[in-house]
Amino acid sequence: DAGVTQSPTHLIKTRGQQVTLRCSPKSGHDTVSWYQQALGQGPQFIFQYYEEEERQRGNFPDRFSGHQFPNYSSELNVNALLLGDSALYLCASSPPDSQYYGYTFGSGTRLTVV
């Protein structure tokens, strides 16, 4: 049974560009949360998607947006990239009615902005 799958694993972008990261949740999970983990820091909550809608949002600017598809997979989009957006982006899925319990994290996408 596959866990949470994220793609790509690594990505290099230039300042000002836009990026899309993808996440497939664990089988049976319907809720997807995205976290940003800067080097040497713990993960910071970006937002959570459930039933194709953004349910909760952390303290991130509108440049960060997302989407959830009918098959529960999700995308994270970041516009107008800044050097400070360089980080490991983690996707976590959770089962029905659990929201933040029973989290399973993916291995992340390492984004480098140059």
Partner 1 sequence: GQQLNQSPQSMFIQEGEDVSMNCTSSSIFNTWLWYKQDPGEGPVLLIALYKAGELTSNGRLTAQFGITRKDSFLNISASIPSDVGIYFCAGQLGNTPLVFGKGTRLSVIA
| Footprint on this chain of partner 1 (rule: CB under 8 A) | 4, 33, 40-45, 48, 56, 58-59, 90, 92, 99-100, 103, 105-108
| Distance of closest approach, residue 55 Cβ to partner 1, in angstroms | 10
Would the CA dihedral through 41, 65, 11, 104 be positive or negative?
positive
| Distance of closest approach, residue 41 Cβ to partner 1, in angstroms | 6
H helix count then E strand count, the chain: 0, 11
Distance CA 43, CA 89 (A): 8
SS3 breakdown of the chain: % helix, strand, coil, rounded to 5?
Answer: 5, 50, 45
| Distance of closest approach, residue 82 Cβ to partner 1, in angstroms | 17
